[in-house]
C-alpha cells in the first residue's frame, strides 16, 4: 500500500507521456495501469520470474517483456530511455553497483530513475519479505541491505543526481492494519521505523 502511494507520487512528475519507459523487476505489472494512462511511446518490462511475466502478459497482451538473467539490459541501446523504474526490487539485487551502472547506461541525459523499496533501516532491524507457497509454508526472501547513502554515492559517480527522496514510517495510523493481520507485536516492534522509501534521480551529464 505504501509503495503504491510513493510510486504514484514520484510518477506524477516523471517523463512518461510519449517517452520510452523501462520497468526493472516489473513483476506482474503492478504499476502498469498508471503508466499506460500516461501514454508512453514504449513500455518494456524486465523480471527474473517467468511466472510473473506470464501474468503480466495475461493482463496486458501487448506488453513487451524480457527475462532478466543478470544486471544486463541488452535489449535497450545506450541512452535510449527517458525513464527507468524499479520498485520493491533493489534489495533483491546482489550487486547494486553493476545494476546502477547498467541503468545509467540506458538512460538518456536528462532522463530519470525512480527507485522504491523496503527501507534498509527496516531490513537491517530484521524486517523480512515473506510469502506463503501452495502448501501454506512461509518463505522468507533473502535481502541485500543497501543504505540510502550507499545508493546515492554510487549514483553520483554515474552522473545520477538525487533530487527527491520520500520515506514512509510505521506510525499509529497503521495499527489497525497490523491488528487485522494478527501482527500487533510486529507493529510495536517497528513503530517509528521507516519502512518504504522512494528516490527520484536524473542523469545530469550532457549529451555528446
d(CA 184, CA 150) in angstroms, rounded, equals: 32
In degrees and rounded to multiples of 5, residue 177 shows phi and psi of: -65, -45
Percent of the chain at pLDDT exceeding 90: 79
Contact 159, 104 (CB under 8 A): yes
How far does CA 20 lie from the centroid of its chain?
17
Q: What is the pLDDT of residues 102-142, one digit of tens each?
A: 999 999 999 999 999 999 998 888 766 666 667 777 666 67
Contacts of 54 (CB under 8 A, 6+ apart): none
- Dihedral sign for Cα 192, 132, 32, 53, please: positive
Other residues' Cβ atoms within 10 Å of the Cβ of residue 190 = 20
Report domain extents, the chain.
2-119+143-170+194-203
Looking at the domain covering 2-119+143-170+194-203, what would its CATH class be? alpha beta
User: Is-contact 162 107, C-beta < 8 A?
Assistant: no
For the chain, report the end-to-end CA distance as a whole number of angstroms: 41
**Beta carbons of 163 and 202 less than 8 angstroms apart:** yes
pTM: predicted TM-score of the whole model, two decimal places: 0.90
What is the reported pLDDT for 135?
A: 77
Amino acid at each position: 500500500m505504501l509503495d503504491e502511494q510513493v510510486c504514484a507520487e514520484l510518477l506524477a512528475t516523471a517523463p512518461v507521456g510519449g517517452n520510452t519507459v523501462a520497468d526493472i523487476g516489473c513483476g506482474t505489472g503492478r504499476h502498469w495501469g498508471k503508466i499506460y494512462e500516461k501514454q508512453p511511446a514504449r513500455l518494456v518490462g524486465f523480471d527474473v520470474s517467468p511466472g510473473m511475466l506470464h501474468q503480466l502478459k495475461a493482463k496486458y497482451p501487448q506488453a513487451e517483456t524480457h527475462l532478466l538473467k543478470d544486471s544486463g539490459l541488452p535489449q535497450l541501446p545506450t541512452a535510449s530511455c527517458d525513464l527507468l523504474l524499479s520498485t520493491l526490487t533493489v534489495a533483491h539485487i546482489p550487486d547494486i553497483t553493476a545494476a546502477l551502472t547498467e541503468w545509467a547506461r540506458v538512460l538518456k541525459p536528462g532522463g530519470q530513475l525512480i527507485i522504491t523499496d523496503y527501507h534498509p533501516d527496516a531490513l537491517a532491524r530484521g524486517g523480512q519479505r515473506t510469502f506463503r507457497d501452495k502448501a501454506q509454508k512461509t518463505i522468507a526472501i533473502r535481502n541485500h541491505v543497501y543504505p540510502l547513502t550507499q545508493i546515492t554515492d554510487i549514483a553520483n559517480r554515474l552522473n545520477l543526481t538525487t533530487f527527491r527522496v520520500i520515506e514512509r514510517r510505521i506510525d499509529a495510523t497503521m495499527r489497525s492494519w497490523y491488528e487485522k493481520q494478527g501482527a500487533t507485536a510486529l507493529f510495536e516492534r517497528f513503530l517509528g521505523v521507516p519502512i518504504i522509501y522512494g528516490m527520484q534521480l536524473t542523469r545530469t551529464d550532457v549529451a555528446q
